[in-house]
Amino acid sequence: MKRVLAVVLLGFGLAAGAAVASVEDEIRERIKPLGEVCLQGEDCGEAAAAAAPAASADAGAASARSGGDVYNAACTACHATGAAGAPIVGNAEQWAPRIEQGMETLINHAINGFNAMPPKGACFSCTDDEIVASVEYMVEQSQ
């Protein structure tokens, strides 16, 4: 009887150990890192080589946004409402003194920030070309 009880307890112990190991494996799978960091100059293998073309393709796709698209995505919060003194798009009176300063000044202010407007209007994913296109769009709408 003691042998049977010992065998049953051993079986339960092994089953419990397997269940705990399975749960631990599931936990490790859930909390594993999504990726890894590869610093320039390090040999990071094929994963980094495969990621580089994808990143440059994404950057190329992002630069295809029109001035109107960028305005609608990033500029409307202030330039449709006049928040923080931003000139409202379509209001020629508000835009006239700014347009008189020249496009170079407007673009410089848009890219580098001016008064309450942060650099790139806080559109950190926007390229300089997209910011230029959005400024041109706003000026066209406001003349």
Say if 102 falls within a structural domain: yes
Question: What is the spatial distance between Cα 53 and Cα 47, in angstroms, rounded to a whole number?
Answer: 11
Structure confidence by residue, pLDDT tens digits, 49-81: 555 555 555 555 545 699 999 999 999 999 999
Q: Averaged over 128-134, what is the pLDDT?
A: 94
Say if 105 falls within a structural domain: yes
CB count, 10 Å around CB of 26?
Answer: 10
Ranges 1-10, 13-22, 25-34, 48-57: which has the least confidence: 48-57
> Tokens in use for 105?
């000044």
**Whole domain around residue 90: which residue ranges?**
66-141
Structure confidence by residue, pLDDT tens digits, 86-123: 999 999 999 999 999 999 999 999 999 999 999 999 89
For every residue of the chain, DSSP letters joined together read: -HHHHHHHHHHHHHHHHHHHHHHHHHHHHHHS-S-----TTS---HHHHHHHHHHHHHHHHHTT--HHHHIIIIIHHHHTTTGGGPPPTT-HHHHHHHHHT-HHHHHHHHHH-BTTBPGGGG-TT--HHHHHHHHHHHHHHT-
Domain count along the chain: 1
Nearest to 71 by CA among 54, 48, 58, 88: 88
Say if 130 falls within a structural domain: yes
Say if 103 falls within a structural domain: yes
Where residue 104 sits, what CATH number does that domain have? 1.10.760.10
Say if 73 falls within a structural domain: yes
Say if 125 falls within a structural domain: yes
Say if 77 falls within a structural domain: yes
Quick check: 45 pLDDT over 90? Answer: no
> Tokens in use for 54?
């994808």
Q: Which residue has the higher pLDDT, 53 or 43?
A: 43
- Does residue 79 contact residue 71 with C-beta atoms inside 8 Å? yes
Say if 120 falls within a structural domain: yes
